[in-house]
A and B are shown apart, each in its own frame.
Chain A
Amino acid sequence: MKIKAQMAMVLNLDKCIGCHTCSIPCKNVWTNRKGAEYMWFNNVETKPGIGYPQKWENQTIHNGGWTLKNGKLRLKAGERLHKFANIFHNPDLPTVEQYYEPWTYDYDKLISSPNKRYQPSIRPKSQITGDPIRIKWGPNWEDDLAGVSETGIHDVNFARLDHAVYLSFKHVFLFYLPRLCEHCLNPACVASCPSGALYKREEDGIVLVDQERCRGWRYCVSGCPYKKVYFNWNTGRSEKCIFCYPRIEAGMPTLCAFSCVGRIRYVGVVLYDADKIHAAASSDPPASLYRAHLDILLDPDDPEVARAANAQGISQNFIDAARKSPVFKLAKTWELALPLHPEFRTLPMVWYIPPLSPIAEHVEPTEQVDAIDRLRIPVAYLANLLTAGDETQIRRVLKRLIALRRYMRSIRVENSLDEDVLQQAGLTPQTAREMYQLLAIAKYEERFVVPTRAVGDGMQTFRDQGACGFS
């Protein structure tokens, strides 16, 4: 057992209102620079949709992440020799159009315009060339389903569903998907970098690009199946979400989590067994990946684990934080939060609680069609997104969430105690109360349990400068 600690996040999609508040402080603090204008370390997409960059989930196009070849875990885009042969022109690299060409306006024209018959207007101009351009895409282009009647058919999460049905007005559904780097346990970006510039931090698992060793071979950009490594066209180097580590080290949550008005985000530590990563990421069939992923997360309350963690040099405040971790509770103890596209085999560490949705009146309840089948968001869609197609996991989570609501409603509105509904979902009143507390009430200290970085004598800020993902 090789124990490592990992900073992780849970996002409760049931509560995301799609306001983009998370993206703004992230943008303002981290990517408000030349060459980085188009980068959104955090962006919020509307589902269904093809997202940013376009069709990022479709790995037959983008070749990101890992795959099994003859039962062996392999980078989907090809391995060492293949990368060498194509290094002069990476066939899988997306181009700026697939994200969007960054633009600005000559705002001054509005003020300096002479008095004219018509109001002055300004046209968008490219921040790369300075030319006037037409804006054709963006990080939230499909906001609230804009244009999805056209793009929706390319959404891979409709696999095994008739997309035409769900893109028709009567059956349409939507929810929001905020996205950031997953700080994976088996990161394809790290494995793809020929220079070894990307690495996971030993202490907290945050994935960084060493800016001094990045040579711009750009395989991390194409290797990441979530397309969360970005190429800075000005510096010729890659950049990515740094999980706000300067804040994390000081015990504060990331900017996206901190600013979230819906309070949908939770940040905490989990301990995991690094010896099992390879086996877990190689699980077959893909639907078994979720279980395998859960199985490598270690219970910090297990004295055996705590002792081993201590012996292996994990600091006490990390172990303490792991015990109070909201992420561990939501993902492992209650199994409410699920990994995004586990079939990419990177073992992502940003977890998502699937959203409930209104009951569709046009679907008649029958013996076979229960409440969960009548939710507007089809279970199969969520399964394609979060469990590699395993609908039973989605049903289990949704059932728990519904039961929790029923139970709390019975107490607070109906003044009766409906514990049957809990039993059917496999919950006890005690757990239900705790879940309610964390999902609905939790304040700052409960949602964000972030241990401060130990400041050892060996801390060498000068040496670390540049190597730590940001320059």
Chain B
Amino acid sequence: MNIANNLAFVVFPYLMLTVFVVGHIYRYVTDSLGWNARSSEFLEKKQLFYGATIFHWGILLTLLGHAGGLLIPQKVFDAVGINGDTHTMIAYYTGWLAGGAAFAGSVLLLIRRVTRRRIKATSLVNDYVTLIGLVIVTGLGFYNVVFGHFYVLDSVAPWIRSIVTFLPKPELMLGVPLSYKVHIVSALALLGFSPFSRLVHIWSAPFTYFPRRWILFRRSVADL
């Protein structure tokens, strides 16, 4: 049991994180022309509106919640007067909202992909893997919010911090319910897959648009 636990919560996370980092560099260098969101709005716009909007706002808030709630130690929250129970309650309600939106949105996107003729015809296996992966990850996450009621702040949260600080403590995960474990492992798998999918668009979110001037010129003949 301990070996499996170590494999799942030490070896696998580092493997996936390595693939994630190296994969993105590799993809950026070798496939700069494929580095985009592969938008399909041009082919189908109405259903995309519900799917894409609900999904993206949901997933972005969810990721924000994960980063804020799991990476920042509970001590910090305690210091500002948010104790573990309050924290869990906030996570519960925002989880319902944001996680629910991410799950519902990804299901809508998947439905759209298999029912709209033009979208189906132009879908790659990669698109299905991405969306099914997201349905599974967000679905399990949402399931955990609604039915899990497991206190993560002294188990999963410190485990994640132990991973990102390179001092892995897999034993923290021993008592965690299976549905949480599967959520974590599938999320890590998706993380490892993402550099090879359209998910690379996340890292190109165009924040440089804010400071830049409107009209851009580029010189094509250098050093005349």
The stretch of A163-171, A200-208, A327-335, A369-377 that contacts the partner chain: A200-208
Q: Which residues of A contact B45 (CB under 8 A)?
A: 89, 93, 95
Say if the beta carbon of A225 comes within 8 Å of chain B: no
* A231 and B222 within 8 A (CB): no
Within 8 A of B (CB), among A414-444: none
Task: Report the minimal beta-carbon distance from B99 to chain A, rounded to whole angstroms.
Answer: 18
Say if the beta carbon of B48 comes within 8 Å of chain A: yes
Say if the beta carbon of B4 comes within 8 Å of chain A: no
* A468 and B220 within 8 A (CB): yes
Q: Which residues of A contact B40 (CB under 8 A)?
A: 233
Indicate whether A202 sits within 8 Å of B222 (C-beta atoms), given known contacts A80-B210, A194-B206, A195-B204: no
Bound CA–CA A196/B209 (angstroms): 7
Choose among B35, B44, B204, B216 the residue that contacts A198 (Cβ–Cβ < 8 A). Answer: B216
Q: Which residues of A contact B118 (CB under 8 A)?
A: 96, 128-129
* A130 and B33 within 8 A (CB): no
* A218 and B41 within 8 A (CB): yes
Say if the beta carbon of A236 comes within 8 Å of chain B: yes
Of all chain A residues, the one with the shortest Cβ separation from B206 is A194
Choose among A84, A95, A187, A464 the residue that contacts B42 (Cβ–Cβ < 8 A). Answer: A95
Within 8 A of B (CB), among A453-471: 453-460, 464, 466, 468, 471
Q: Which of A130, A190, A233 has the most CB of B within 10 A?
A: A233
Per-position binary interface string of chain B over residues 201-224, scored 1 when its CB falls under 8 Å from any chain A CB and 0 otherwise: 100101011101011111111111
Say if the beta carbon of A215 comes within 8 Å of chain B: yes
Task: Report the minimal beta-carbon distance from B170 to chain A, rounded to whole angstroms.
Answer: 37
* B32 and A454 within 8 A (CB): no
Say if the beta carbon of A140 comes within 8 Å of chain B: no
Within 8 A of A (CB), among B169-224: 198, 201, 204, 206, 208-210, 212, 214-224
Indicate whether A128 sits within 8 Å of B201 (C-beta atoms), given known contacts A95-B45, A459-B221: no
Within 8 A of A (CB), among B88-135: 117-118, 120-122
Of all chain B residues, the one with the shortest Cβ separation from A211 is B33
Within 8 A of A (CB), among B26-68: 32-45, 48-49, 52-53, 55-57
Count the A residues whose beta carbon is within 8 Å of the partner chain — how many?
57
* A186 and B224 within 8 A (CB): no
Q: Which residues of A contact B48 (CB under 8 A)?
A: 89
Bound CA–CA A122/B224 (angstroms): 57
Bound CA–CA A195/B210 (angstroms): 10
Say if the beta carbon of A191 comes within 8 Å of chain B: yes
Indicate whether A129 sits within 8 Å of B44 (C-beta atoms), given known contacts A215-B36, A215-B204, A315-B224: no
* B121 and A129 within 8 A (CB): yes
Q: Which residues of B contact A202 (CB under 8 A)?
A: 217-220
* B39 and A195 within 8 A (CB): no
Q: Which residues of A contact B42 (CB under 8 A)?
A: 93-96, 218, 221, 231, 233
Bound CA–CA A302/B218 (angstroms): 27
Say if the beta carbon of A131 comes within 8 Å of chain B: yes
Q: Which residues of B contact A234 (CB under 8 A)?
A: 122
Bound CA–CA A191/B209 (angstroms): 9
Q: Which residues of B contact A277 (CB under 8 A)?
A: 215
Task: Report the minimal beta-carbon distance from A142 to chain B, rounded to whole angstroms.
Answer: 23
Say if the beta carbon of A212 comes within 8 Å of chain B: yes
Task: Report the minimal beta-carbon distance from A32 to chain B, rounded to whole angstroms.
Answer: 19
* B214 and A89 within 8 A (CB): no
Indicate whether A201 sits within 8 Å of B201 (C-beta atoms), given known contacts A95-B41, A128-B118, A458-B224: no
* A195 and B217 within 8 A (CB): no
* B215 and A471 within 8 A (CB): no
* B56 and A88 within 8 A (CB): yes
Task: Report the minimal beta-carbon distance from B180 to chain A, rounded to whole angstroms.
Answer: 29
Task: Report the minimal beta-carbon distance from A204 to chain B, rounded to whole angstroms.
Answer: 9
Q: Which of B41, B121, B210 has the most CB of A within 10 A?
A: B41
Indicate whether A203 sits within 8 Å of B221 (C-beta atoms), given known contacts A191-B214, A195-B204: yes
Can you list 10 A-B contacts with CB-CB less than 8 angstroms, sorted by A residue number?
A95-B42, A95-B44, A128-B118, A129-B120, A186-B215, A201-B217, A202-B219, A214-B36, A217-B37, A233-B122
